[in-house]
Amino acid sequence: MYEKLFGSKTRAKLLSLFLNNADKSYYVREITRTINEQINSVRRELANLKALDIVVSQGKKGKLYYKANKKADIYPELKKIFTKAASKQPVSAEKDMIKAIKGLGDVSYAALMGHFVKDNSSPVDFFIVGKVNRRRLKTFVAQLEKEAKKEVNFSLMSLDEFETRKVMFDRFMTEIMASPKDVLIDYVDETGEAKGLKTSVKKEEQEG
Domains delineated in the chain = 2-87 (1.10.10.10), 94-207 (3.30.460)
Using only the alpha carbons of the chain, give its radius of gyration: 20
pLDDT category at 55 given cuts 50, 70, 90 is very high
Question: Mean pLDDT in the chain?
Answer: 81
Position 62 pLDDT exceeds 50: yes
Q: pLDDT for 152-174, tens place per residue?
A: 999 999 999 998 988 888 889 88
- Report the C-alpha gap between 36 and 13 in whole angstroms: 9
Sheet holding 182-186, edge to edge: 154-157, 126-132, 105-112, 182-186
By 3-state DSSP, what share of the chain in percent is helix, strand and coil, each rounded to 5?
50, 20, 30
Task: Say if strands 26-27 and 63-68 run parallel, antiparallel, or are unpaired.
Answer: antiparallel
pLDDT category at 180 given cuts 50, 70, 90 is confident
What pLDDT sits at residue 23? 86
pLDDT, greater one: 206 or 112? 112
